[in-house]
Amino acid sequence: MREKVFKLLYVQKFLGVVLVLPELYRFSVVTYAPHPVIGPSDAPLAPTAFEAFVKVPKFLRPHTQIYCTSERVFGNREDLVKDIITELQPENGEEWWTYVCMGPSDPHPNWHLGMRGTQHRAVMWCVWKEGGTGFLYWGANCYEKTTVASAETRSRRGLPPGDGVLFYPGEVFSHSHQPVASVRLERILSGLQDIEYLKLYTSSYGRDEGLALLEKTGVYLGPERYTLERMPIDVMRGEIFSACRT
Q: What is the pLDDT of residue 151?
A: 66
Let me know if residue 149 belongs to a domain: yes
Let me know if residue 77 belongs to a domain: yes
What span, in angstroms and rounded, lies between the C-alpha atoms of 162 and 113? 5
Let me know if residue 179 belongs to a domain: yes
User: What pTM, to 2 d.p., does this model score?
Assistant: 0.80
**Res. 140: pLDDT tops 70:** yes
List alpha helices for 95-225, DSSP H.
117-130, 183-205, 207-216
- For residue 160, is the peptide bond before it cis, meaning its omega torsion is within 30 degrees of 0? no
128, burial (CB in 10 Å: exposed 0-12, middle 13-18, buried 19+): buried
**Res. 145: pLDDT tops 80:** no
**For the chain, how many structural domains are there in total?**
1
pLDDT (mean) for 36-46:
53
Let me know if residue 49 belongs to a domain: yes
pLDDT (mean) for 153-157:
77
- Mean pLDDT across the chain: 80
Report residue 68: phi and psi, to 5°.
-125, 130
pLDDT (mean) for 187-195:
95
**Res. 128: pLDDT tops 80:** yes
Let me know if residue 218 belongs to a domain: no
Q: In terms of residue numbers, what domain contains 50?
A: 2-183
Let me know if residue 206 belongs to a domain: no
134 vs 50 pLDDT, higher one: 134
